[in-house]
Structure 1
Amino acid sequence: MLSKELLLFENTLKNNRNHAESPSTTTQRRLSISLAFTQQEIEEAQRLRYKVFAEEMGAQLLGTGGLDIDGFDQYCDHLIVRDTDTNQVIGTYRILSPSSANEAGGYYSAAEFDLSRLAHLFDRTVEVGRACVHQNYRNGGTITMLWAGLAKYMQFHNYEYMIGCGSVSMADGGHSAASLYQRLQDDYLSPLEYRVFPRNPLLNDSLRSDMQVACPPLIKGYLRLGAYICGEPAWDPYFNTADMLVMLPLSRINPRYAAHFLK
């Protein structure tokens, strides 16, 4: 994205500042959302990612020095949410635009899925990933700010589709993920023309698919917004998660939320 465009988009965010309340206290925490402009700001996002993914979840990350860094970061725009009282970055999302995906050699999720059936949409599709929130701020307000920022980003650039991986822990060997997919596919599986195929399939006859499993909050939020799940999950050995490709056309955003995110 050109710097002029960054500034214009940043102004749209500044005109839509929000506040969120922590679930652990009645004190109002003031939060702000912006794009990361500097390398220092990007590193703040990468440090939060490392804390959440490596220290909390045990992911095997490539970064060093307490930072989660991979080859896609340099091509992405990074949304960050700050606690304005402490100036701490407490939430982040990275966004890969269509033009940047071309520069990067493709979308991140293409390493996990065959995206051939979505290729005709790539010029209107952004990919999101590395979404995380500091453990002290995991409430509806923080993720809502990130989603609202993403929606405004898509509107600003006239993008129509969002894709990204929704992850389920593999701590139990994959039974929970298989059971969740079995439950969700009846209501949320995409039309055939949007179907993707895992390169490292998770599902096999040894996995249970009848367990009562809670849907992870991020996937649940995407589905409430109107997203599809585009096919069977893939196993990501580095994060030890089962990933389902989620796709959200802006035209499908639930009217209940559209007034808030797309105003």
Structure 2
Amino acid sequence: MTIARAAPSQPARPPAEPAAFLGEIGKLRARLATTGDEIRAAQRLRHAVFSAEFAAPGDEDGIDADGYDALCDHLIVLDTAIAGTDTDRIIGTYRLLPQQNLAGRPFYSDSAFDIGALLERHDGRRFLELGRSCVLPDYRSKRTIELLWQGIWAYCRRNAIDVMFGCASFAGRVPARHAMALAFLHHHARATGDWSVTARAETRVDMDFMPAEAIDLKAAMRALPPLIKGYLRLGATFGEGAVIDHAFASVDVLVVLPVEQISARYVSYYGADADRFAA
């Protein structure tokens, strides 16, 4: 799906809240949403993308929202060449839920995965849940992904985050359609030891669709969604078992990414620019 945008006609305005600024590459800028209108614009973008690609529900106003949005920071990517206000320029978004904002509530992912056990094993570490990631189809480029991660890295530095985690999705409600990709994650990228996480028994779908020796590694990598490939490159591992999200028509896996395990070359790559915005 392509959403039409106005032609570039005016220079970008700097964000009203400099503290929200998290990164910039070319005409694209990453920052936190600072107004209710910007958050609603991000929710509208989420609905447009999710309803087209995952048959996800939304409200009558075309908004994807839930009770966690009020607890989250909303990372937005703006195309500063688009005419209008910044609410018109949002082309990508990521929802960021730091542990200190929970106020006694469980993380969003806890309904499907046993996040509590992970937190107990790492008491004292600061966790950040990543979710609701989406980018308009015309902007799904290496540059946009790099800027999203530059922004997330700057946010982690500002907030002293130790561990990132969250759900990532395969399209559709039939796990067997993703058998090789899920088996690849199970055999070659499963979180183990203190970082292991399991899907809850009542919703769990086993990912062990085939033995490790039957997996065509190149084919499995091609079958992975771009977001999951990106997590793998950073050094992420994945929980035991998947879950079917019937509302979003997706098969979800849990990503676990301790900051200390991020590949050194990516820390160097993203950090060089992100450190400018981490103060």
Task: Please tell me the TM-score bracket, short chain as reference.
Answer: 0.7 to 0.9
SS in 1 for 2:182: helix
1:18 matched residue in structure 2? 25
1:78 matched residue in structure 2? 74
Question: CA separation in 2, counterparts of 1:160 and 1:149?
Answer: 16
After superposition, residues 18-167 of structure 1 pair within 5 angstroms as 18-19=25-26, 30-61=27-58, 63-86=59-82, 87=86, 88-103=89-104, 105-120=105-120, 121=122, 123-167=125-169
Task: Give the TM-score normalised by the residue count of structure 2.
Answer: 0.80
For 1:157-179, what per-residue CA distance to the aligned partner results, in whole angstroms no more than 9, with x for missing partners?
111100011111225x2213333
1:22 matched residue in structure 2? none
SS in 1 for 2:78: strand
Q: Is the 8 A contact 2:206 2:242 kept in 1?
A: yes
CA-CA distance at 1:117 after TM superposition: 2.6
Instruction: Report the residue type matching 2:243 in the other structure.
Output: A
Find 1:203's aligned residue among 206, 211, 215. Answer: 206
For 1:203-254, what per-residue CA distance to the aligned partner results, in whole angstroms no more than 9, with x for missing partners?
389x678685411100010010011112111111111211111011111111
Question: CA separation in 1, counterparts of 2:93 and 2:190?
Answer: 27
CA-CA distance at 1:181 after TM superposition: 2.0
Question: CA separation in 2, counterparts of 1:97 and 1:9?
Answer: 17
2:238 matched residue in structure 1? 229
Question: CA separation in 2, counterparts of 1:141 and 1:64?
Answer: 33
CA-CA distance at 1:116 after TM superposition: 3.1
Question: CA separation in 2, counterparts of 1:95 and 1:219?
Answer: 17
For 1:27-77, what per-residue CA distance to the aligned partner results, in whole angstroms no more than 9, with x for missing partners?
xxx11111000000001100100000013321134x330110111001000
Question: CA separation in 1, counterparts of 2:177 and 2:53?
Answer: 19
Query: Between the two proteins, what is the percent identity of the paired residues?
Result: 36
Instruction: Report the residue type matching 1:50 in the other structure.
Output: H
Find 1:244's aligned residue among 231, 244, 253. Answer: 253
Moved more, 196-205 or 222-231: 196-205
Q: Is the 8 A contact 1:9 1:153 kept in 2?
A: no
Question: CA separation in 1, counterparts of 2:184 and 2:146?
Answer: 25
SS in 2 for 1:60: coil
Return closer, same or farther for 1:100/1:39 CA change in 2, 3 Å cut-off.
Answer: same
Instruction: Report the residue type matching 1:253 in the other structure.
Output: I
Return closer, same or farther for 1:204/1:216 CA change in 2, 3 Å cut-off.
Answer: closer
1:261 matched residue in structure 2? 270
Question: CA separation in 2, counterparts of 1:76 and 1:128?
Answer: 10
Instruction: Report the residue type matching 1:181 in the other structure.
Output: L
- 2:193 aligned with 1:192, yes or no? yes
CA-CA distance at 1:140 after TM superposition: 1.1
CA-CA distance at 1:7 after TM superposition: 5.3
SS in 1 for 2:94: strand
After superposition, the CA RMSD in angstroms is 2.2
Q: Is the 8 A contact 2:20 2:33 kept in 1?
A: no
Q: Is the 8 A contact 2:207 2:242 kept in 1?
A: no
Question: CA separation in 2, counterparts of 1:36 and 1:91?
Answer: 12
Query: Number of paired residues?
Result: 241
2:175 matched residue in structure 1? 174
Question: CA separation in 1, counterparts of 2:178 and 2:129?
Answer: 22
Q: Is the 8 A contact 1:117 1:195 kept in 2?
A: no
Q: Is the 8 A contact 2:243 2:252 kept in 1?
A: yes
2:11 matched residue in structure 1? none
Moved more, 107-116 or 187-196: 187-196
For 1:94-134, what per-residue CA distance to the aligned partner results, in whole angstroms no more than 9, with x for missing partners?
1001111235x111000111123311336510001000000
In the alignment, structure 2 segments of 5+ residues that lack a partner are: 1-15, 273-279
Task: Give the TM-score normalised by the residue count of structure 1.
Answer: 0.84
In the alignment, structure 1 segments of 5+ residues that lack a partner are: 1-5, 20-29
Find 1:219's aligned residue among 206, 228, 231. Answer: 228
Q: Is the 8 A contact 2:30 2:148 kept in 1?
A: yes
